[in-house]
Chains A and B, each alone.
Chain A
Amino acid sequence: MLKKSVLATAIVLALSAGLAQADSGDSTLSGSFRHNKSKGGSIHHNTFASQPITNTNTNVVTVNTTATQTSSPTATATAPVTQTSTTNSTATAKAPATQTQTSAAVSSASTPTTAGADATTTDTTTATGSATETTAATDTTSADATATTQEQNTAQTGMQAEIRNEIKGAGNISSTITGGNNNLANAASISASGATQTADAVINRVNTTGNISSTIKGGNNNQANAASISMGGSMAVKGRVVNEVENTGNISSSVEGGNNNQANAGSIAIN
């Protein structure tokens, strides 16, 4: 009896798998290309006579709007905060500080002139020490940030993760980086890269009346995203990549100087 049941189930599963394979072959990418047989298909080319649209447009057509320019100062105010919190320069400065202190002890024993020089170095290290104390508050925020990314990574390994960024009713959103290389400035955007990254879906929804701007001033290998999704490094997404932008003010993205730059405004870039 059990053998019969197992045999019947195996037959049904085999038939079902065959049907599923046939369906997927018709609907997936490779299937559709197979049907096309290279450069087939028809070309429908509808040309309409040029005629003005009667709808009156209330928006003033200006490329360099003042709104974008006024939003950048708030960005420069916030940009250094994020830079000090993310950079490890203050943290790594602790190690050289202790090293110079020990070397100062040795050199001060040999020559007093170098001792004077070492004294200045220890002064600077104490200055950086106080700097790290002031950035202690930002360290806690960075710790929180890493905690959230760890949660994302664990979810992504389970192939269930969804990267979602939703913004509603916000004011102006801006992000600015001035100088340096390998810069990435995101405003109301999702930026993800890496072959190990896997997500079920990537969704960026922005619904705000404010202006959104992202600016990089100078440097190489720069990318500025405003209300956009940027993905790179052969990242795998099982589901949809959706970028929805509604009811916003001006959206601008600019890279001012440098090489290998990319500026995205209300766009999706997958490289």
Chain B
Amino acid sequence: MKVIHILTIAALLATPAIGQAADLLGIRAENRVQGGEYTAKTKGNNNTANAASINLTGSKAREVTNRVNATGTVSASAIGNSNTVNSGSVQMQNAEAAQVSNTVKVGSIGNTVRGNNNTSNIGSVQMVNARAGKVTSELTGEALTGAIDGNNNRLNIGSVAMNGAQRGDVTTKADLGNVSVSMTGNNASVAVDSVVAQ
């Protein structure tokens, strides 16, 4: 009888461990950034510049958390074609995540892109052929600058942009001071403090 009790207790004690191991499957990516200025720049083609951002391509994640609290400037720039430029953003391509959270508080933030087929995200969440259970995006800043010069360009500011994405609840919030956006070229698309689902 004692043996039964011992084995029963052992089995019950082992149960949470088994459950937790299953719970750990999937990446939990946390990016916490404070202070200073953050700059990412590229020149050439097929470029990606990430400043205080999370970029997921072809990956599975359980939680994706990007928290930025920078007193200075967060900026990213690219010169060339087929560029992707992210500042204080989460970008997912062919990726999955149960939760996506992007909280950005900055003094100023801005992207500059010159070329064609460009995507520029500022304090935004962009999902392309991606799935997410819950998406939250919050952007607070004093000054914001977005400039794109070229064709087939897309600019997202304080927004959640989804293309061929499956998602659960989507929450966005933007509290910005001066916003300056300039775009030249054809087939331009701009989203400011918006939710765009295509």
Contacts and interface: CB of A to CB of B under 8 A. Distances in A.
The interface residues of chain A, by DSSP majority, are classed as mixed
B62 A29 contact: yes
Given A28-B22, A262-B49, A271-B58, A42 B169 contact: yes
Contacts of A270: 27, 29, 54-57, 59, 61
B23 to A, nearest CB: 6
B24 to A, nearest CB: 5
Contacts of A43: 169-171, 195
B172 interface: yes
Interface residues of B, number: 91
B71 A59 contact: yes
- The winner among B3, B86, B197 for most chain A CB atoms within 10 A is B3
A50 B62 CA distance: 34
A35 B172 CA distance: 22
B189 interface: no
Interface string B133-162: 110000011110000000000000000000
A173 to B, nearest CB: 13
Given A5-B4, A38-B166, A251-B36, A32 B44 contact: no
Interface stretch (A61-69, A70-78, A149-157, A187-195): A61-69
Interface in A31-69: 32-33, 35-36, 38-48, 50-53, 55, 57-59, 61-63, 65, 68
Contact of A44 (B3, B19, B72, B171): B171
Interface of B is mostly: strand
A59 B37 contact: yes
A60 to B, nearest CB: 8
A116 B31 CA distance: 63
A240 B28 contact: yes
Given A33-B131, A58-B71, A263-B49, A50 B195 contact: no
B6 to A, nearest CB: 9
B178 interface: yes
B14 A251 contact: no
A239 B28 contact: yes
Given A32-B168, A267-B31, A270-B56, A260 B11 contact: no
Given A32-B133, A250-B39, A269 B55 contact: yes
Interface residues of A, number: 85
A83 B20 CA distance: 44
Contacts of A227: 33
A252 B39 contact: yes
Contact of A46 (B4, B131, B169, B172): B172
Contact of B41 (A9, A51, A253): A253
A251 B51 CA distance: 9
5 contacts: A29-B60, A43-B169, A48-B175, A250-B39, A265-B38
Interface of A: 1-2, 4-5, 8-9, 12-13, 16-17, 19-21, 23-24, 27-29, 32-33, 35-36, 38-48, 50-53, 55, 57-59, 61-63, 65, 68, 227-229, 234, 237-271
